[in-house]
Amino acid sequence: MSEPTSRPSWDVYFMDIAHVVARRSNCCSRKVAALIIKDKRIISTGYNGTPRGTANCDEGGCARCWARIHGGETAGSGTVQAGMQLEECTCSHGEENAIVQASYHGVSIKGATLYTTFSPCLMCAKMCINSGITEIIFAAEYPLNDTAGRLLEEAGVTLRKL
């Protein structure tokens, strides 16, 4: 008779799935994914990458990613550093895509929990607040999240690191 296996907690279960979803990302800089969960059921997933129907990052679809993997140069822009030239990035974030996918399919996410591989940026924090997400659970801290964290707290959205 074999030893019983330990079951992962719901948090670990959903975060493990988020890490698998992140592998679908076509972003060359950082692979991020998010799941939206309601009543212990996955209702939407998203990963970062270029918009539907456009060229992927590694195909030149995002000038910023293309520059990072091809010597740091874009036409006239110089070296691309982390956190810089974000206006050149055409990728949608994992959280953004999970929220948009729920909307696209007509699924309400009011009162849902979002699991994400990185804490949300300010834009994604605002989207989470306005879409009715009540809790965000993340695996790693995104470097630019101080303002996002303060805003989530003010809005009453629980933010916790797993």
Q: How many CB atoms lie within 10 A of CB 131?
A: 19
**Residues β-bridged to residue 136:** 114, 159
Residue 19, phi-psi category: left (phi > 0), alpha (psi -120 to 50), beta (remainder)? alpha
**What string of DSSP letters covers 50-84?**
SPTTS--GGGTSSHHHHHHHTTT-BTTTBPPPTTS
Q: Establish whether 73 is a catalytic residue.
A: no
**Residues β-bridged to residue 115:** 35, 137
Which one of the listed residues 3, 59, 88, 95 is annotated catalytic?
Answer: 95
φ, ψ for residue 128, nearest 5 deg: -65, -45
Q: Please name the residues in contact with 5: beta carbons below 8 A apart, sequence gap of 6 or more.
A: none
Active-site residue list = 95
